Amino acid sequence: MNDPLNAQRVLEALVEARRHRAACTVVTVVGFAGSTPRKPGAKMLVYSNGDAIGTIGGGALEYEICERAQKLAPSGETKLVRIHLTHELGMCCGGGVDILMESQAYAPRLLIFGAGHVGLPLASLASQADFDVTVIDHREELNTPERFPNVKRLVSDPADVMDTLLFDKEQTYVVILTHDHALDERIAGYVLPLPYRFLGIIGSSRKREMFRKRLLAAGHDESKVDKIETPVGVRIHAETPFEIAVSITARLVELRRASGES
């Protein structure tokens, strides 16, 4: 008999995981043959870091499934597997169990600070490259649905996105390219203490060194400051706003693929 409280815990954990955009895999027993520790309907949820909620019977079977589910979590894929309960798994049931694994992956989030000449094509290109794009700019005449038809979120106040729910050390990418150097620096100061995968700022090497000195003087972590990419983008000798946006998008895709995200 399956435990309804176990299923409830798994479903509650899934709701919370979706709220936080945490990659995970829902594991469900969907069939069996012979004698098995849990019957169809037994569930568990496995996060990409290996943590798990719920159980499908424990022991070597659960350990094997947890390893598979953890690897599957970032992929967004669904798999149906049959596990034979053999002595190699430390089980003498002699049966088999069919497991449905449904990974819950999310498009990586890109926060673009600046709705100007580069921000406009960058938002379009990044959306087409399957990033979940948010554009932040206080200039309401620029930050409009008409200019950004493919962007889900347009925000006027940077403080409105400085929320840990929007930041994730694996799936949040930040590009700062406002119209003002002082504003770029201030936003970088807001972002640095938060978790993120990548932080890039438009500008020159001279700007990078100037920002580095000021951010370190403000007490920010040196290792994080040194990872800020300025100039941002793949080196393709870009000159026009569109070319710069292409170079930045290429860099974002490069990083995403290197980290194994879908």
pLDDT at 19: 81
Q: Are 90 and 69 contained in the same domain?
A: yes
pLDDT digits (tens, 9 = 90+) for 106-145: 888 999 999 999 999 999 999 999 999 999 999 999 999 9
Q: Is 177 exposed, middle or buried (0-12, 13-18, 19+ CB in 10 A)?
A: buried
Q: Are 78 and 124 contained in the same domain?
A: no
Give the span between the Cα atoms of 212 and 88, in whole angstroms: 55
Give the span between the Cα atoms of 224 and 196, in whole angstroms: 10
- Closest by CA position to 176, among listed 161, 38, 87: 161
The one-letter code for the residue type at 145 is: P
Q: Are 204 and 130 contained in the same domain?
A: yes
252, 126 contact by CB (below 8 A): yes
What range defines the domain where residue 39 resides? 4-104
Give the span between the Cα atoms of 247 and 219, in whole angstroms: 31
**Tokens (6 digits) for 232:** 């941002």
Of 54, 72, 104, the last residue of a domain is 104
Q: How many domains does the chain have?
A: 2
pLDDT at 88: 47
What would the DSSP string read from start to end of 103-121? EE--PPEEEEE--STTHHH
The low-confidence residues of the chain, meaning pLDDT below 70, are 1-2, 34-38, 86-94, 163-166, 259-262
Q: Are 170 and 202 contained in the same domain?
A: yes
Q: Are 203 and 227 contained in the same domain?
A: yes
Of 38, 70, 104, the last residue of a domain is 104
**How many CB atoms neighbour CB 11 within 10 A?**
15
Q: Are 229 and 184 contained in the same domain?
A: yes
Q: Are 32 and 159 contained in the same domain?
A: no
pLDDT at 34: 63
CA distances from 188 to 127, 142, 159, 181, 241 (A): 23, 21, 12, 11, 21
pLDDT at 171: 83
Angle at 122 between CA 237 and CA 249, to 5 degrees: 60
Q: Are 99 and 146 contained in the same domain?
A: no
61, 94 contact by CB (below 8 A): no
**Tokens (6 digits) for 51:** 């943590």
Q: Are 95 and 160 contained in the same domain?
A: no
Give the span between the Cα atoms of 228 and 211, in whole angstroms: 10
Q: Are 123 and 217 contained in the same domain?
A: yes
Q: Are 91 and 153 contained in the same domain?
A: no
- Closest by CA position to 173, among listed 137, 208, 139, 132: 132
Of 88, 104, 120, the last residue of a domain is 104
Q: Are 253 and 189 contained in the same domain?
A: yes
